[in-house]
Amino acid sequence: MTTVLTSASPLTAADRCDRCGAQAYLRVVLLSGGELLFCAHHGRKFEPELKKIAAEIQDETERLTAVPESSPEEER
């Protein structure tokens, strides 16, 4: 998915996928106004269609594989 940086606030655990209710990692701001939230799975599934109708895409899927900085060295 192409990342477009926006001034939007970071997504939190309270942000849920509009398709399945899982935690959202993508915010799609539509050309027509409004926004949609997607989990990583549905973001990838609908990527071709979303690119056609999106003004901006906020992609935070890298958080799924990031190692928290506060993890002890032996857990990394």
pLDDT along the chain (76 residues), means of 10: 63 97 97 96 96 96 85 68
Domain that holds residue 47: 26-61
Q: Are 4 and 11 in contact (CB under 8 A)?
A: no
- Domain-embedded: residue 10: no
Query: Which pLDDT score, from 0 to 100, does residue 66 have?
Result: 85
Residue 9 domain-assigned (yes or no) = no
Whether 43 is in a domain gets the answer yes
1: in domain: no
Rounded Cα–Cα distance for residues 9 and 31 (Å): 19
In a domain, 6, yes or no: no
Q: Scan for tokens 């001034």, then name that residue.
A: 7
With respect to residue 21, please indicate whether it lies within any of the assigned structural domains: no
